[in-house]
Amino acid sequence: MGINGKTLLYGIIGNPVSHSLSPAMHNAAFTASGMDAVYLPFPAEEIASAVTGIRGLGIRGASVTIPHKESVMDFLDAIDPVAEKIGAVNTVLNKNGILTGLNTDWLGATRALENAIPLNGTKVVLLGAGGSARAIGFGLLERGANSILCSRTESRGRLLADDLGCSWVSLKETETLSGDILINATSVGMVPGIDNSPVPRNILSRFQVVMDIVYAPMKTKLLSEAEIEGCTLISGLEMLLYQGGAQFEIWTGRTAPVAIMRDALSRALSQQKTSDTNNDRN
């Protein structure tokens, strides 16, 4: 990668960002597309100064991750209508100094799902009531799916269910549910809690497709059990891939090289896992 005075700058803003897989994915996409561009991680505790940095340095585009997806909206010039509905921004486009906030999390989820099943008219059980569940829920709404929201905290869950125009059920009552698609939009099953699943295995045979937004590990306990029950699996890496592909297209106007981005993500995740294992031994 030859970085020079003409190299276009992109990056991810959040705290922490040191383990983000996005640099590997986007830099592979830039290289494959023959672009003189680089994507870097920018740890930022304070979002206002980070947005000032985007403006001042002429950063062409930025991914925004936790904890800034909501607070960044106060410092941008324009917000895409879907991101406004979701109440969160994960993508910033800098076009001639005008900063626009968008959300590609919902696109990532719906594109990953649509590779496995048509969404219009499907019945979806969505686990969680946080930012990811909110983005996915609005994406499902856009695609004509019928959702049931399940969460541990009733007050937060009912608020999101009302916004989505769907029903709410306690996570304790998932054994009563069935549908076409089950989506885990919680952090249950993520490293280090890899022996945990958000739902009991005996309900998984009631679903055709099971998706988990967790990508570390790539095959969570939920997905492993769903595989045994004969479900079609969608890993969190697919959502990360397609939301990143949508970002690339927003920033560049080019078609994202999805296959190359997927390979880069898989390699980066494997390297990260190897590095973490070696660190644990030291």
Could you give the CA distance from residue 70 to residue 194 in angstroms, rounded to a whole number? 28
Query: Which residues lie across from 203 on neighbouring strands?
Result: none
pLDDT at 282 over 70: no
- What confidence score (pLDDT) does residue 133 get? 94
- What confidence score (pLDDT) does residue 191 get? 87
- What confidence score (pLDDT) does residue 272 get? 83
- CATH 3.40.50.720 matches 107-234: yes
pLDDT at 274 over 70: no
- State how far Cα 112 lies from the chain centre: 11
Could you give the CA distance from residue 2 to residue 9 in angstroms, rounded to a whole number? 13
For β-strands 167-170 and 146-151, DSSP reports them as: parallel
Could you give the CA distance from residue 97 to residue 30 in angstroms, rounded to a whole number? 22
Active site residue 69: yes
Residues 47-85 pLDDT 10s: 999 999 999 999 999 999 989 999 999 999 999 999 999
Q: Could you say which of 69, 85, 123, 219 is catalytic?
A: 69
Q: CATH 3.40.50.720 in the chain, residues? A: 107-234
Count the Cβ atoms, other than its own, within 10 Å of residue 41. Answer: 18
Could you give the CA distance from residue 161 to residue 31 in angstroms, rounded to a whole number? 42
pLDDT at 277 over 50: no
- b/e per residue, 177-209, with b = 16+ CB within 10 A? bebbbbbbbbebbbeeeeeebbbeeebbeebbb
Could you give the CA distance from residue 23 to residue 90 in angstroms, rounded to a whole number? 15
Residues 101-136 pLDDT 10s: 999 999 999 999 999 999 999 999 999 998 899 999
Residues 88-98 pLDDT 10s: 999 999 999 99
Which single residue is written with the structure tokens 């009552």? 173
Could you give the CA distance from residue 19 to residue 24 in angstroms, rounded to a whole number? 11
- Helix, strand, coil proportions of the chain in percent (round to 5)? 45, 20, 35
Are the CB atoms for 185 and 165 separated by under 8 Å?
no
Q: CATH 3.40.50.10860 in the chain, residues? A: 8-103+238-281
Could you give the CA distance from residue 259 to residue 267 in angstroms, rounded to a whole number? 12
Question: Angle 39-81-111 (CA atoms, 0-180°, nearest 5)?
Answer: 60
Verdict on whether the full-model pTM lies above 0.75:
yes
Amino acid at 17: V
Residues 6+ apart with CB under 8 A from 167: 148, 149, 161
Could you give the CA distance from residue 170 to residue 154 in angstroms, rounded to a whole number? 7
- What confidence score (pLDDT) does residue 279 get? 47
| CATH assignment, 8-103+238-281 | 3.40.50.10860
